[in-house]
Amino acid sequence: MENIKNKGIGTISIHGGNRKNEFGCLTTPIYQTSTFIFDSAEQGGRRFALEEEGYIYTRLSNPTVDIAEKKLALLENGEAALGTASGMGAITATFWTFLKAGDHIITDTTLYGCAFSFLNTGISRFGIEVSFIDTSDLEAVKKAIKSNTKIIYLETPSNPNLKIVDIESICNIAKNYKDIKVIIDNTFASPYCQKPLDLGADIIIHSATKYLNGHGDLIAGFVVGKKEDIDQIRFVGIKDMTGAVLAPGEASLIIRGLKTFEIRMEKHCKSALKVAKFLGNHPKIKKVYYPGLEYHKGYEIVKKQMLDFGGTLAFELKNGFEAGKTLLNTVNLCTLAVSLGSPETLIEHPASMTHSPYTKKELEAAGLDEGLVRLSVGLENVEDIIEDLETALKNC
């Protein structure tokens, strides 16, 4: 489609990156192949030397995966994207590509549990230094920068407590240092709610397991950014280091999931705001964390950088986690499971589940209450979700 870049998000999700195929199929075929046939030895050589465009081997690129990647690049206003086997695959491939022993990373104390684990105990074993700070404190960010800082990495809104960081201000600080890349995990917001590249970020990470695929039936990830950076991650981080490539079948499901991306996100956001307001007014609830609430810390930044507020929220109960446990064990429609961005409303306890890699002390340092409960508001009728929570809360 011509001028696809100027079209709306629904049009881009459905038509972006699509191309004609051999039999005129409406939907994108799954090119279920590990390797591609060369016409001649010379052609094979030229492809390996990157002198001629064309496919070589599915760990490097594949036509089905290619279309999913083009959609992501368009949705995030990036030059290029790379599909990976998981969100963790996207994070690790990116970090392994740009870092070497002796380099320094600045990140937030609040991250998805396994991302925290990778930075806290994984990559640090390879001579890379990591500073965990509160990146919403811009002075602290400035102070943390060293001559060997190569990456500032953060999630906004963060997992699990929806902490907000001012992306544009962080990028303005980083611009004074030519070697620092700002990498934003945009999983919680999705490109429906936030476009970090437009705010100056260099690279975006996604767990496509969540809102992008949107059906809770696969694990996948993406990295989006400048073509030069994405090529490097593809040919170093993926090809030679992690090998965590997106499979054609999974890419096909993501292409299918993206067809409803806009309408799904519209409903996730609308319902989450309603549920957040309901919980905010409930006598058994101590505090609700949701970027769409005017009293949410960072709401002024939210208004500046987010187009909508997303489908995930968190809350603390007045009677602490014992009451939270009762809630998790009593809900009926809300499903007790980790992950987010599925059609099903999912409820979980971060301290013992998604954020179990954090010690008690580390949870405290991140300002994460042990009793925090996280809710990914699904696509069921919102009245039913609220009714289910209301009934279960009676026992809490």
Kindly state whether residue 156 participates in binding ligand LCS, applying the rule CB under 6 A: no
Pair of tokens at residue 319: 């009677």
| Omega within 30 of 0 (cis) for the link into 157 | yes
Binding piece for ligand LCS, criterion CB under 6 A, among 74-82, 166-174, 335-343, 377-385:
335-343
Kindly state whether residue 207 participates in binding ligand LCS, applying the rule CB under 6 A: yes
Is residue 185 part of the annotated active site? The answer reads: yes
d(CA 159, CA 230): 25
Is residue 240 part of the annotated active site? The answer reads: no
- From 66, 108, 185, 308, active-site residue: 185
Choose between 47 and 311: whose C-beta lies nearer to ligand LCS. 311
Among 14, 60, 99, 219, binds ligand LCS (CB under 6 A): 219
d(CA 332, CA 334): 6
- From 31, 112, 211, 290, active-site residue: 112
316-341 in b/e form (b: 16+ CB < 10 A) is: bbeeebebbbbbbebbebbbeebbbb
Choose between 13 and 376: whose C-beta lies nearer to ligand LCS. 376
- Which 346-375 residues touch ligand LCS, going by CB under 6 A? 354
Among 56, 338, 344, 357, binds ligand LCS (CB under 6 A): 338
- Residue among 8, 23, 186, 217 nearest 112 (CA): 186
Pair of tokens at residue 215: 């059906």
Among 185, 262, 369, 388, binds ligand LCS (CB under 6 A): 185
Burial of 255: CB neighbours in 10 Å, binned 0-12, 13-18, 19+:
buried
Kindly state whether residue 378 participates in binding ligand LCS, applying the rule CB under 6 A: no
Kindly state whether residue 92 participates in binding ligand LCS, applying the rule CB under 6 A: no
Choose between 71 and 284: whose C-beta lies nearer to ligand LCS. 71
Is residue 59 part of the annotated active site? The answer reads: yes
d(CA 359, CA 382): 35
Kindly state whether residue 94 participates in binding ligand LCS, applying the rule CB under 6 A: no
Pair of tokens at residue 313: 């929220």
Q: Between the CA of residue 235 and those of 32, 46, 149, 228, 230, what are the distances in Å? A: 21, 16, 23, 11, 9
Binding piece for ligand LCS, criterion CB under 6 A, among 116-124, 185-193, 275-283, 358-366:
185-193
Supply the minimum distance, in Å, between the C-beta of residue 115 and ligand LCS. 6
Cβ atoms of 92 and 242 closer than 8 Å: yes
Supply the minimum distance, in Å, between the C-beta of residue 381 and ligand LCS. 24
Give the torsion sign (CA, 58, 61, 66, 72). positive
Kindly state whether residue 112 participates in binding ligand LCS, applying the rule CB under 6 A: yes
Q: Which residues are at the interface with ligand LCS (CB under 6 A)?
A: 86-88, 112, 115, 155, 159, 185, 187-188, 207, 209, 219, 221, 338-340, 354
- Active-site positions? 59, 112, 185, 210
